[in-house]
Amino acid sequence: MALRSLDNALPITPERPRKQTKVAVSIQKQSDIGVNDENIAPLPPTTADATIDYISSENLKALPDPEIKIQSLVEGLESKDWLKVCDSLNNARRFALYHSTLLLPILEKVLLVLVKATKNPRSALCKTSIMASSDIFKAFGDELLESTTSDAFDHLLLQLLLKASQDKRFVCEEADRALNAMVQSMTPLPLLHKLQAYVSHGNLRIRAKAAISISQCVSKMGLEGMKEFGLVSLIQIAADLLNDRLPEAREAARSIVISIQQAFTENGEQMQESWQIFCQSNLPAIHAQAMAKMAKIVPSS
């Protein structure tokens, strides 16, 4: 009875709905889309990402009125609208392929934009910048090293090695093509000096990608070019890579060794004896023994 009277004395008030807790959500402004931030997670693909045109070099056309359009190229490349940057990168590719003399004075600025765009978490922008790198390598070759600062080229090279080492396949394959275009378009010797630093990189995939590019450079060189770089340095690089964890690095090392051996043979050296003496003089015994075994299984040309 006491409980009943208490219920009658206290009217039941309907429970008010709870107020929703306000949560601060970071909204990306349109003006910030093109800004590079390596510390944020990759952005999810959008409709624009899915429909972006990746134009092959063969399908790029010369620009009408290039002397006028070159004046607005830098502004477009530095835009905060990533779609505009993609469009400007494709125009930079056209300038490289058809109007390279107009692009040459601003080549340094273009390289800096390429580095920034390659770092961007948007895959579409990243891939477009890598494609632009390939066309610039093809158009300028050694002139790229002569017309830009060493730092600008070094930063671009590192980004290409990084992108070639990642798991996102369509970006990785494009970076591989850019590295190959670089090797095919440039003189091996100065490029070898640039790549040498990366065969001891802490990232094993970067080591492997650098090793592949080095092996491609060495395959283009004769014995004199190898000597100019340093035969001892080359054989030491190969010996270290032969023990690397990744098979791609080990295979590149074998390719380097084969190229050096063939260069010895083509210059009239007594293959087995001279190679064994050279390795024993410049390598630890265990590495020299491995090199001697390779000389026995590699046919002379």
User: Which CATH number is 162's domain given?
Assistant: 1.25.10.10
Give the end of a domain, one of 186, 220, 249.
Answer: 186
Task: Check whether residue 110 and residue 225 sit in a common domain.
Answer: no
Judgement on whether residues 93 and 165 belong to the same structural domain of the protein: yes
pLDDT (tens digit per residue) in 177-233 = 999 999 999 999 999 999 999 999 999 999 999 999 999 999 999 989 999 999 999
Same structural domain, 79 and 177: yes
Is a pLDDT exceeding 60 seen at residue 1?
no
> CA torsion, points 27, 31, 36, 41, in degrees to nearest 10?
20
Residue 256 lies in a domain: yes
Please check whether residues 108 and 175 belong to one and the same domain.
Answer: yes
Please check whether residues 180 and 61 belong to one and the same domain. Answer: yes
**Residues 171 and 221 occupy one common structural domain:** no
Q: Are residues 100 and 163 in the same domain?
A: yes
pLDDT at 48 over 70: no
Q: Do the domain assignments include residue 200?
A: no
Rounded average pLDDT over 234-246: 92
pLDDT-based confidence at residue 47 (cuts at 50, 70, 90): very low
8 Å CB contact between 168 and 123: yes
Domain that holds residue 86: 56-186
Q: Indicate whether 224 belongs to any domain.
A: yes
Of the residues 145, 169, 186, which one is the last residue of a structural domain? 186
26: in domain: no
Task: Tell me if 263 sits within 8 A of 223, measured CB to CB.
Answer: yes
In this structure, are 181 and 65 located in the same domain?
yes
Does residue 48 lie within any of the structural domains?
no
Residue 224 exposure: Cα atoms within 13 Å on the Cβ side: 0
Point out the least confidently predicted range of 6-10, 102-106, 138-142, 273-277.
6-10
Q: Are residues 176 and 218 in the same domain?
A: no
- Residue 273 placed within a domain: yes
Dihedral angle at the C-alpha atoms of 80, 68, 56, 86, nearest 10 degrees? 0
Number of domains comprising the chain: 2
Q: What average pLDDT does the chain have?
A: 83
As a whole number, mean pLDDT of residues 27-49 equals 41
Q: Are residues 152 and 84 part of one domain?
A: yes
Residue 203 lies in a domain: no
pLDDT at 264: 76
Do 134 and 215 share a domain, yes or no? no
d(CA 140, CA 72): 21
241, part of any domain = yes
- Domain limit, last residue, from 186, 221, 254: 186
Each residue of 67-98: pLDDT tens digit? Answer: 999 999 999 999 999 999 999 999 999 999 99
